Chain A
Amino acid sequence: MTVVDRINAFARRVPTWVLYILYLLPVPWLLYLAQTGGLGREPIKALEHELGEIALQLLIIGLTITPLRRHLGINLLKFRRMFGLLAFTYVSLHLLVWLVLDVGILSQIWADILKRPYITIGMAGFVLLIPLALTSNNWSVRKLGAGWRKLHRLSYVAVLLGGVHYMMLTKTWALEPVIYMAVILGLLALRLPKLRSKQAA
């Protein structure tokens, strides 16, 4: 039994609900930390950034599922919807913290969305994820047929916007957002027709 077989056998045995719970645990944990000083002296920004970073990680994990199967034979397909929905949950929480706890002033929220490019871009990414979250169910997959796959390619754009959003908010050249962006671009490059056909040959 190869390593790949072992991974696939293990993945088959793990129910998705276990992973849902596991991946949602950071939410109460972060809220607890924020209340008890574990996120530093300014917990609002810290919480906002933590949630945003987890969201980006989940979106990236979602992008790895197809290449893992195509190039390495690892089949985690049954978790793909879960990662997408979890990512949407974290993006929503990230946005909610920004709206309610961070800014909290309606006129300023609106002005920020229109005037601040990194917020405009982040917002656009969130909006793109809404139809994807709404159609992440079996009924929609059946109903939309081939259109479903096309629609869900919007996730490529959304992840890209998320990466740009992160890169734009640092004051100086920082390593982390650049690494995220590089990973995103790499995963998207694997989807280019040329690379796909090379693998098939």
Chain B
Amino acid sequence: MAHRWTNTLTHKDVTPRAHFMNRRQLMAGAAAGVGLAGVGAGAQAEETLEPNPWEDITQYNNFYEFGTGKSDPATYAGALTTDPWTVAIDGLVEKPGDYSFKDIMAEMTVEERIYRFRCVEAWSMVIPWNGFELADLLALAGVMPEGKYVRFETLYRPEEMIGQKYRTIDWPYIEGLRMDEALHPLTIMATGIYGKTIPNQNGAPMRLVVPWKYGFKSIKSIVRITVTEDQPVNTWQALQAREYGFYANVNPTVDHPRWSQATERKVGGGLFSKRVPTLMFNGYEDEVASLYEGMDLTVNY
């Protein structure tokens, strides 16, 4: 079941398809309560979201598997083989096993999601993803009632991922979500950008996108999904627990110990691009704030 959440307007509404790749002027934001899933009907103020051009999205990346520089992934990710690709789905699921990417795609409905993307380093983009809801993929394997968390793992293949030849971080990269976050209709597995196959540097063939969390939660090139009872320890939390937590929700009022999170700068604005205020939950407060009711977000950062 797809289409639990939709942009009220997409670029198709504004411009003929032939032109929208150039104009990229579109409306987004208000989440319609799409029936069955009952996503927050309380829509936030309608706002113009202008997606970054393809070049920003594909040439300015954090993907330490290919090096720590922002342009390293675009330079080196070409070496990665993404076909064939298998995702192991295991742990507390009814049908554990190796799922080929092809078989998964045959079952999924791909749709477009235009999301804000906010890095923990205080830069941001707007990205027109193509993908399917993680909930649909998890349904394929059948989550058992004891399953409370989902753990994700990136490919470890140093022959093709040159950044993995150095122990900058403890490979493979690990991320995790609470089950309600994983099943939330905003949470998707992206397989494309601007209607094209997702480039390797953006996490081909399949990467997570959780738009209300800092970018590092949106783990790339996933080879294993494990449903667990205990909260997984994600890579950055293991590395620096004081600076990076499990939740990593975008929150302008909780600073990173070394820099402020109150503002951000959209990539691609050139030398004189100004910072803009960061939005609570990256602008998805109406949709996700209820997940964290009663939680102290300064402790659960």
| 27 sample A-B contacts, Cβ–Cβ < 8 Å, listed by A number | A40-B59, A40-B70, A40-B71, A41-B55, A41-B56, A41-B70, A42-B60, A42-B265, A42-B268, A43-B271, A44-B265, A44-B271, A45-B123, A101-B272, A104-B274, A108-B260, A112-B259, A116-B258, A116-B259, A170-B68, A171-B68, A172-B64, A172-B68, A172-B168, A172-B239, A173-B167, A174-B168
**Bound complex: CA A171 to CA B255 (Å):** 15
**Bound complex: CA A179 to CA B109 (Å):** 50
Does B290 interact with chain A (Cβ within 8 Å)? no
**For window 43-91 of chain A, which residues contact chain B by CB distance below 8 Å?**
43-45, 47
Does B263 interact with chain A (Cβ within 8 Å)? yes
Residues of chain B with a CB closer than 8 A to A111's CB: 260
Residues of chain B with a CB closer than 8 A to A101's CB: 271-272
CB within 8 A of A173: which of B55, B56, B168, B267? B168
Does B262 interact with chain A (Cβ within 8 Å)? yes
Please, what's the 1-or-0 string for A103-132, where 1 marks a CB less than 8 Å from any CB in chain B? Answer: 111001001100111100000000000000
B-side interface mostly: loop
Please, what's the 1-or-0 string for B37-68, where 1 marks a CB less than 8 Å from any CB in chain A? Answer: 00000000000000000011001100010001
- Whether B239 contacts A168 by the Cβ 8 Å rule is no
User: How distant is B82 from chain A, measured CB to nearest CB, in Å?
Assistant: 23
User: How distant is A76 from chain B, measured CB to nearest CB, in Å?
Assistant: 33
Does A35 interact with chain B (Cβ within 8 Å)? yes
- Whether A169 contacts B258 by the Cβ 8 Å rule is yes
Q: What residues of chain A have their CB less than 8 Å away from a CB belonging to chain B?
A: 34-35, 40-45, 47, 101, 103-105, 108, 111-112, 115-118, 168-174
Residues of chain A with a CB closer than 8 A to B71's CB: 40
Does B270 interact with chain A (Cβ within 8 Å)? yes
Residues of chain B with a CB closer than 8 A to A172's CB: 64, 68, 168-169, 239
**Bound complex: CA A104 to CA B273 (Å):** 10
- Whether B262 contacts A168 by the Cβ 8 Å rule is no
The listed residue with most A CB atoms (<10 A of its CB), out of B71, B255, B270, is B270
Residues of chain B with a CB closer than 8 A to A104's CB: 274-275
List the 10 closest pairs (A to B, CB-CB), nearest first: A41-B60, A172-B168, A41-B56, A42-B267, A34-B271, A43-B271, A41-B267, A41-B59, A41-B268, A40-B71
**Bound complex: CA A41 to CA B268 (Å):** 5
- Whether A43 contacts B270 by the Cβ 8 Å rule is yes
Residues of chain B with a CB closer than 8 A to A169's CB: 258
18 additional contacts (CB under 8 A) given A34-B271, A40-B71, A105-B263: A41-B55, A41-B267, A42-B267, A44-B273, A45-B123, A47-B271, A101-B272, A103-B275, A104-B274, A105-B275, A111-B260, A112-B259, A117-B258, A169-B258, A170-B68, A172-B64, A172-B169, A174-B168
